[in-house]
Chain A
Amino acid sequence: MGGHREKDEGDGALLRAVAAGDPAAMAALYDRHAGWLHARLTRRCADPEVVREVLQDTFVTVWRSAGAHRGEEAGGWLWTIAARRLIDARRAQERAGRLETTPIDTAPAGAGPALSAPSAEERALTGLEYGDVGTALNRISPELREVLRATVVDGLTTRETARLLGIPEGTVKSRAMRARAELRAALAQLTPNPMGGPA
């Protein structure tokens, strides 16, 4: 590998060099981002082989489309690619073995309006003690937390979330609503009247 780069070279400069085909820049970019992407993917996918494939696909995509990235920090952009790849991998997997992945509970489809942008719990989160959120999150079920993570943290659409988790879109919507409601209730229990309004 053609020598190590300056550790403090920005993502933007690295990506421009990668777009020009510089392997040293790719090595530096990989060393900076591959580790946390691996950890983040592992938290969302239990199969290490899929995680490995998705991570490789992500960086191979970076070779091709590094020139398309604008701006300095590449972390969010890389995660977007990785999340899409993970969804694709899930879909392929599901197609391969549809027999075993039938979702157990199917909540009624179209059970409410789509997610709205600046949501109640996001506003609530700003006014809370750090530990309270963790406690509240731990009280809601893993299924709801999964939906919350995909839609709020990973920024996926309802359809993408449905594909990632292998559940119908209607279920995603209803779970997201339930997650918000339960989170709100849990937070209200922990800190009565956090934002000056009833939860």
Chain B
Amino acid sequence: MTGWHAPDRLIAGYADGSLPDADAWSLEKHLESCAACAGRVSRAVRATAAGPVLTDLRQAVLAAAPRAPAAEPRPLRAPRLLWAAAPAVRGAWLPAVLLVALGAVLLAHVADFSGARPLLLAVAPVVPVAGVALSYGRHADPLHELAASTPSAGLRLALVRTAVVLAVSLPLLTLAGVVVPSSGAPGAAAWLLPGLTLTLAALALGGWLGLRAATAVTGGGWLCAVLAPVLATPDGAVSRHLSDQLSLYVGGGAAQGGWAAAAALCAALLAVRRTAYDRLERH
């Protein structure tokens, strides 16, 4: 820096502690920015009574080296995130969704079964609800205890996982519905709003009943409402009755508007009850 370096007399006095304050202070300031003098003073101090202590500390400091210092390249996060975000997607639920979609397509095209579309529409809304049941809670996630202790646990995590479930099931089932011939049933996208509403209803109810019971109530309720009148009819035209029943529930603007209103209501209820998820399964 300045070209000035500490004279040996100063260094010796500092090392043995005999240097007066004014000299010591100016040397200390110099050592902060002069590696050469720092090395000289340190060598002089090592020669004093502090030497053994410094040798001991040197061992301790070198032993405190962080393990695995060269960090290995970070693994790709997205697949792991998806893995963590959706216990349902990595379990039996995904094959079930594929089975429903493929089954409908095969029934329609290979077995030439005309009731494939109504059947698909009847089952489809239950699929995301089942996904929700398998997404959050002690029974669904072996790491739930750990996940529940993180700051993002609770409703936020449940919603993230629900979003993954919806992202998988909505396109798949709607696509399958498009491929399957209509045969009098409502359009392939008609189940979307009921599916969303049932999912939100399950989440909202989950705050009171727990997710498993809530999904059983909503999913089972839907299946009963759709299938019970059909099965109660004496004649055997099941698929036609199913079509009629579905048209009643999801066909037309009024029914869809009703589902939309119900979805909004459930969302509002969920927002109000959001703290219930923090205490889920604790009672």
Contacts and interface: CB of A to CB of B under 8 A. Distances in A.
Interface of A: 1, 7, 10-11, 20-23, 26-27, 30-36, 38-40, 42-43, 48, 52, 55-56, 59-60, 63-64, 73-76, 79, 130, 133-134, 137-138, 145, 149, 152-153
Contacts of A137: 20-22
A38 B6 CA distance: 18
B66 A48 contact: no
B22 A133 contact: yes
Interface stretch (B39-47, B159-167, B219-227): B39-47
Given A7-B39, A26-B62, A36-B45, A134 B32 contact: no
Contacts of B17: 39, 42-43
A139 B54 CA distance: 34
Interface string B41-64: 111111000100110011011101
Nearest to A28: B39
Range of interface residues on B (Cβ < 8 Å): 35 or more
A73 B20 contact: no
A33 B38 contact: yes
Most B CB within 10 A of own CB, among A7, A31, A38, A79: A38
A36 B31 contact: yes
Contacts of A52: 53, 57
Interface in B6-20: 14-15, 17, 20
Contacts of A79: 28, 32
Contacts, number: 118
Q: State the 3 A-B residue pairs at the shortest beta-carbon distance, nearest first.
A: A21-B69, A35-B42, A35-B45
Nearest to B56: A52
Most B CB within 10 A of own CB, among A26, A40, A137, A149: A40
Given A75-B31, A76-B32, A134-B21, A63 B64 contact: yes
B28 A40 contact: yes
A12 to B, nearest CB: 10
Contacts of A23: 62, 65
B83 interface: no
Nearest to B67: A21
Contacts of B65: 21, 23, 26, 63
A45 B15 CA distance: 15
9 contacts: A20-B69, A20-B70, A23-B62, A56-B57, A59-B64, A60-B61, A63-B64, A75-B34, A153-B28
